[in-house]
Amino acid sequence: MARAFNFSPGPSTLPEQVLRQARDTMLEYGGAGASIVEISHRGPEFLEIAERAEADLRALLSIPDDYAVLFVAGGATTQQALLPLNFAAPGQRADYVLTGHWGQVATRQARPYVDLNIAASSEADGYRGIPPFEEWRLSEDAAYVHVTASETIHGVEFRPSAPGGHPFPDTGDVPLFADFSSSIASEPIDVSRYRAIYAGAQKNLGPVGIGVVIVRRDLLARAGQPRADIFDYRLQLEAGSMLNTPPTWNWYVAGLTFRWMLDEGGVEAFARRNEAKARALYAAIDGSGGFYRNGVDPAVRSRMNVPFQLHDPALDGRFLEEAGAAGLIGLKGHRVLGGMRASIYNAMPLEGVQALAAFMADFQRRHG
Ligand code: PMP
């Protein structure tokens, strides 16, 4: 069977070239006499892979030297618990800004450890926008402010460094922490605006099972809270992200994905492509005369995750079935919102989005 265009939100489509490279080295890696999944993470082959992955990620995201990069297992949710454990004193205030489901999940991971303050939330309007900065109630003594750069389910995105985009407000001396799981490497960002950035890899960075934490080194001097070694970012850094056996295969495939992105022209090239893809898809929705709808404030619509509803939900099943038959998969919306969602990360080519837009128009002609 041919590969379909896969709009899945994560795990999500990977570049075919990366999958082929991974396949070719699955049995035997570069003279090691064994597969990556069979050799020690402390051997020369894997240490070289790990070093190169970090160097490539630093180049890709222009990560300054005063930031450490950690490769972590446990996904983004685990980091949502580890951030307060590492960087907030027990019961210290921490500010959270909610622009969708994942911000809410982050509060559930932090609540046992901090005095949690919801500084702003667009929940009351169904997470269709970003609360105006004037309404943010930030605490002066907070350990940090936590934001979600791109909400994967609700399709709301800050565009912190984009011209004309929606930036984050200046939080002064209070460190800004950002969950970039669904938009990392989709366009250039100024890493120095954040004290910590984290992301699960399974959207723009590679396979699930690994994630990255990018943290300004001076933050690691914070005492945080009593915690086991394995939850300690400082110890992880000292151990080269290998306090225990890391997910070597996932790390390797993420590294291949970083290299692919660099070879394709880096984040500037992806910013242009992603803009074009998002424009095409939103045009298909907005131009449908209400057959398809996306209710997010157009100023903060996500370029990565495009949720949309059919005017008649009774057609949902048929839409998904026919889309699948047309080679378009992974479109079922999250249960929180229902309807459809097209995730159009870096590895989704413009042709995939064009094929989806053409299918949507055709489906409307037949069922409108
Ligand atoms: N944050 C965001 C923005 C996400 O989209 C997700 C997963 N879809 C998570 C956090 C949780 O990530 P994980 O499943 O890797 O824990």
Q: How many CB atoms lie within 10 A of CB 134?
A: 7
What average pLDDT does the segment 44-67 reach?
98
Examine residue 11 and state whether it is found in any structural domain, yes or no: no
Q: Own/partner pairs for 94-97, CB < 8 Å, 24+ apart?
A: 94/142, 94/143, 94/144, 94/145, 94/146, 95/119, 95/138, 95/139, 95/142, 95/144, 95/145, 95/146, 95/174, 96/145, 96/146, 97/121, 97/131, 97/136, 97/145, 97/146, 97/147, 97/148
Q: Which amino acid is at 16?
A: E
Q: Are residues 123 and 270 in the same domain?
A: no
Among the listed residues 124, 118, 82, the one whose alpha carbon sits nearest the alpha carbon of residue 103: 118
Tell me, in angstroms, the distance from the centre of ligand 1 to residue 72's CA: 14
What average pLDDT does the segment 165-183 reach?
93
**What's the pLDDT at 71?**
98
Residue 102 near ligand 1, beta carbon < 6 Å: yes
Count of structural domains, the chain: 2
Residue 106 near ligand 1, beta carbon < 6 Å: no
**Residue to probe by mutation, ligand 1, list 152, 183, 205, 335, most atoms within 8 Å of CB:** 152
Examine residue 183 and state whether it is found in any structural domain, yes or no: yes
Domain that holds residue 273: 266-367
Q: What is d(CA 252, CA 63) in angstroms, rounded to the nearest whole number? A: 20
What average pLDDT does the segment 178-200 reach?
97
Q: What is d(CA 103, CA 302) in angstroms, rounded to the nearest whole number? A: 15
Q: Are residues 273 and 242 in the same domain?
A: no
Final residue in a domain of this structure, among 263, 284, 309: 263
Tell me, in angstroms, the distance from the centre of ligand 1 to residue 181's CA: 6
Q: What is d(CA 292, CA 315) in angstroms, rounded to the nearest whole number? A: 11
Q: Report residue 359's pLDDT band, with 50, 70 and 90 as the boundaries.
A: very high
What average pLDDT does the segment 75-99 reach?
98
Q: Are residues 201 and 288 in the same domain?
A: no
Tell me, in angstroms, the distance from the centre of ligand 1 to residue 177's CA: 15
Q: Are residues 182 and 104 in the same domain?
A: yes
Q: Are residues 186 and 279 in the same domain?
A: no
Examine residue 8 and state whether it is found in any structural domain, yes or no: no
Tell me, in angstroms, the distance from the centre of ligand 1 to residue 213's CA: 13
- CATH number of the domain residue 279 falls in: 3.90.1150.10
Q: Flag whether pLDDT at 82 surpasses 70.
A: yes
Q: Which residues contact 190 (CB under 8 A, 6 or more apart)?
A: 160, 161
**What's the pLDDT at 104?**
98
Query: Scanning the structure block, which residue is given the tokens 């309807």?
Result: 339
Examine residue 7 and state whether it is found in any structural domain, yes or no: no
What average pLDDT does the segment 34-49 reach?
96
Nearest protein Cα to ligand 1, atom 9: 76
Q: 38 by DSSP, 3-state: which? A: helix
Q: What is the pTM of this model?
A: 0.98
**What's the pLDDT at 124?**
96
Q: What is d(CA 145, CA 347) in angstroms, rounded to the nearest whole number? A: 31
Q: Are residues 114 and 74 in the same domain?
A: yes
**What's the pLDDT at 368?**
86
Query: Scanning the structure block, which residue is given the tokens 């045009």?
Result: 283
Q: Active-site positions? A: 102, 179, 203
Q: Are residues 252 and 344 in the same domain?
A: no
Beta strand 340-343 pairing with 145-148: unpaired
Q: Flag whether pLDDT at 1 surpasses 90.
A: no
Q: What is the pLDDT of residues 214-234, one digit of tens each?
A: 999 999 999 999 999 999 999
**Residue to probe by mutation, ligand 1, list 8, 102, 335, most atoms within 8 Å of CB:** 102
Q: Are residues 280 and 344 in the same domain?
A: yes
Q: Are residues 90 and 145 in the same domain?
A: yes
Final residue in a domain of this structure, among 220, 248, 263: 263
- CATH number of the domain residue 240 falls in: 3.40.640.10
User: What are the CA-CA distances from residue 130 to residues 104, 142, 169, 212, 231 (Å)?
Assistant: 14, 21, 12, 26, 32
Q: Flag whether pLDDT at 187 surpasses 70.
A: yes
Q: Report residue 177's pLDDT band, with 50, 70 and 90 as the boundaries.
A: very high
Q: What is the pLDDT of residues 269-278, one digit of tens each?
A: 999 999 999 9
Q: Are residues 249 and 344 in the same domain?
A: no
**What's the pLDDT at 165?**
78
Q: 245 by DSSP, 3-state: which? A: coil
Examine residue 12 and state whether it is found in any structural domain, yes or no: no
**What's the pLDDT at 162?**
82
Q: Are residues 248 and 284 in the same domain?
A: no
State the chain's maximal CA–CA distance in angstroms: 62
Structure tokens that stand for 111 in this block: 């609540």
Final residue in a domain of this structure, among 238, 263, 288: 263
